[in-house]
Structure 1
């Protein structure tokens, strides 16, 4: 048995044979595709931001001195944060339910999560336009209970609703992946030591599910920053997000430099936020005794 373990597990610090050698060549097509589809356009965008219409940092100076541009950036980050929070509040109990139901019910719940991936984003957004309009189904239902009609379309509320529906799978799947690996006997042990079910859930299950919360929240937040179709159809031009402003600068005003500067600033802000989140997570693990 010891010999088998030594064969299966290479010595510490020794790289398995083949990794980084000829098997590493398998990564080249993926890296080339990533460079062509991501790095090259990103480089062109950054280049235009400092060369169009004239070399220099004029586009960035315009951005940081424009009240409209700064307000749009803040609005985009705020909408992304709200969408992430709402998505988490809806997805957490759904993912938890997937871990406690029968196998057949779990299959159906998984299909419901994956269903949005099989439908066009444009179709789903137009469906929300029909549902949320002033005389739509949602307002009719609210009117029957004395809560409507409400202004749901051409508002940030409509944008949050539409984006939440689109992004829920990106929150549910990481949460379920982590929750399904939590040993539920830990909850039984906590209750056996005198903890109430709610206390055991909050003190044992929730902390163990935080990696899924972090992964899902980051995915949803970063993805929400680049949404264009949903805010354009459900929101108001007076409350446009940065993706809409970039489209206006590039397609409407042909100001490629300003559009590139806005894209670079958004990318930089996203990377800074990712760095802060990573630092907080490492600090939390260190304080919690996890290395």
Structure 2
């Protein structure tokens, strides 16, 4: 029997550059036929609509994808009693947002159960479900939507691995290709001021996120992510929670003497330039969206 190799020669150093790639990060990730007639679906045409008909279509699309995002979170086991919320700006009433009702399981979310919240934090009297909302959810999300006008969606819940890693008050390391989603794209909120029942705490979290970050680790609390779409927001959250699990596993192995490797800044920046692009993150949730719509048609009710 041939001896088992115990080492390998070092690979030659090689770094890629976006200068040789398409200017559109989405177009770097797929290829159709030679004739160029096979393409992936882009955002629906009405996503940039300004007319009433288009905006009404967008409202229904936003509500559907919000309900599906909750089903996705339910599938991942993120339900934790009354905790957890995702909000999305209404396409027509821009200072209002849609969110989940108080005490309804993520896995049972439907379009008709979604609540429209006014700027003052009350349930809209005529549009949406007439159900109570989570007060902490309003304080956190209203502050973020106010501070970040370019953000359409924000999501927060108490996922298992996110909670565990949050106790360290540290960002996740860039140790895997998937973790490049968080390269120069994460904040840590170090102050745990108790359950969020004051507007000031929501404002502090929004301030910590800054003008650009889409991901935050709330120390001793959990995770929070933002998105141009609810799809981006929900997928980013799931990816961050998984990276927290990876980080905990790596730390356990490192404690036993195994050295961990951090991705080089140049390579992380190159990868982030493609995978952090909002349309790419949006498409990452698409397989889950299609699966849920196929297997759980009740979400349309």
Could you state the TM-score of these two structures normalised by the residue count of structure 2?
Answer: 0.26
Question: Larger % of helix: which?
Answer: 1
Question: Larger % of strand: which?
Answer: 2
* Greater relative CO (CA pairs within 8 A, separation 6+): 1
**Max radius of gyration: which structure?**
1
